[in-house]
Amino acid sequence: MANKGKILVTGGTGYIGSHTAVELFNAGYEPVIIDNLSNSNIGVLDGIKAITGTLPTYENIDCKDYISLGHFMERHSDIKAIIHFAASKSVGESVEQPLVYYRNNIVSLINLLQLMPKFNINNIVFSSSCTVYGQPDVLPVTENSPIKPATSPYGSTKQMSETILRDASAADKNLNVVLLRYFNPIGAHPSAEIGELPNGIPNNLLPYLTQTVAGIRKTLKVFGNDYSTPDGSCIRDYINVVDLAKAHVCAIDRILEKKNKKNLEVFNLGTGKGVSVLEIINTFEKATGMKVPYEIAPRRTGDIEQVWADASHANKELGWKAEATLEETLLSAWKWQQKLQEREPKAE
- Asked if 293 touches ligand WQD (CB under 6 A), the answer is no
Whole-angstrom Cα distance, residue 80 to residue 71?
17
Cα 135 from chain centre: 20
- Asked if 192 touches ligand WQD (CB under 6 A), the answer is no
Q: Which of 277, 281, 309, 314 binds ligand WQD (CB under 6 A)?
A: 277
Least Cβ distance, residue 2 to ligand WQD (angstroms): 34
Strand partners for 184:
238
- Asked if 204 touches ligand WQD (CB under 6 A), the answer is yes
Q: Which of 49, 214, 223, 296 binds ligand WQD (CB under 6 A)?
A: 223
- Asked if 221 touches ligand WQD (CB under 6 A), the answer is yes
Least Cβ distance, residue 213 to ligand WQD (angstroms): 13
Binding string, residues 230-249; x marks residues near ligand WQD by CB under 6 A: ----x-x-------------
- Asked if 89 touches ligand WQD (CB under 6 A), the answer is yes
Using omega within 30 degrees of 0 as the cis cutoff, is the peptide bond preceding 140 cis?
Answer: yes
Between residues 119 and 223, which has the closer beta carbon with respect to ligand WQD? 223
Q: Measure Cα distances from 332 to 91, 108, 140, 216, 325 in Å.
A: 25, 32, 27, 18, 11
Q: What is the residue type of 109?
A: L
Least Cβ distance, residue 347 to ligand WQD (angstroms): 17
- Asked if 156 touches ligand WQD (CB under 6 A), the answer is no
Whole-angstrom Cα distance, residue 327 to residue 41?
28
Angle at 316 between CA 315 and CA 317, to 5 degrees: 105
Q: What is the residue type of 117?
A: P
Q: Which of 13, 111, 129, 169 binds ligand WQD (CB under 6 A)?
A: 129
Least Cβ distance, residue 308 to ligand WQD (angstroms): 11
Do residues 12 and 35 make contact, with C-beta atoms less than 8 angstroms apart?
A: yes
- Asked if 222 touches ligand WQD (CB under 6 A), the answer is yes
Least Cβ distance, residue 226 to ligand WQD (angstroms): 12
Q: What is the residue type of 184?
A: N
Considering only residues 13 to 72 of the shown chain, the ones binding ligand WQD according to CB under 6 A are: none
Q: Which of 145, 184, 240, 288 binds ligand WQD (CB under 6 A)?
A: 184
Least Cβ distance, residue 241 to ligand WQD (angstroms): 12
Binding string, residues 90-109; x marks residues near ligand WQD by CB under 6 A: -x------------------
> Which residues does the annotation mark as catalytic?
154
Whole-angstrom Cα distance, residue 95 to residue 186?
23
Do residues 270 and 322 make contact, with C-beta atoms less than 8 angstroms apart?
A: yes
Burial code of 135-162, b = ≥16 C-beta within 10 A, e = fewer?
ebeebbbbbebeebebbbbbbbbbbbbb
Between residues 6 and 300, which has the closer beta carbon with respect to ligand WQD? 300
Whole-angstrom Cα distance, residue 130 to residue 136?
10
Least Cβ distance, residue 224 to ligand WQD (angstroms): 7
* DSSP state letters, 263-331: SEEEEEES-S--EEHHHHHHHHHHHH-----EEEEPPPTT--SB--B--HHIIIII-----S-HHHHHH
Between residues 109 and 115, which has the closer beta carbon with respect to ligand WQD? 109
The DSSP element (H or E) to which 91 belongs, if any, is: helix 91-96
The DSSP element (H or E) to which 169 belongs, if any, is: helix 153-171
Q: Which of 41, 203, 225, 260 binds ligand WQD (CB under 6 A)?
A: 203
- Asked if 87 touches ligand WQD (CB under 6 A), the answer is no
Q: Which of 205, 241, 314, 324 binds ligand WQD (CB under 6 A)?
A: 205
Q: Which of 94, 105, 123, 131 binds ligand WQD (CB under 6 A)?
A: 131
- Residues of this chain that interact with ligand WQD (CB under 6 A) are 89, 91, 129, 131, 184, 203-205, 208, 220-223, 234, 236, 277, 300, 303
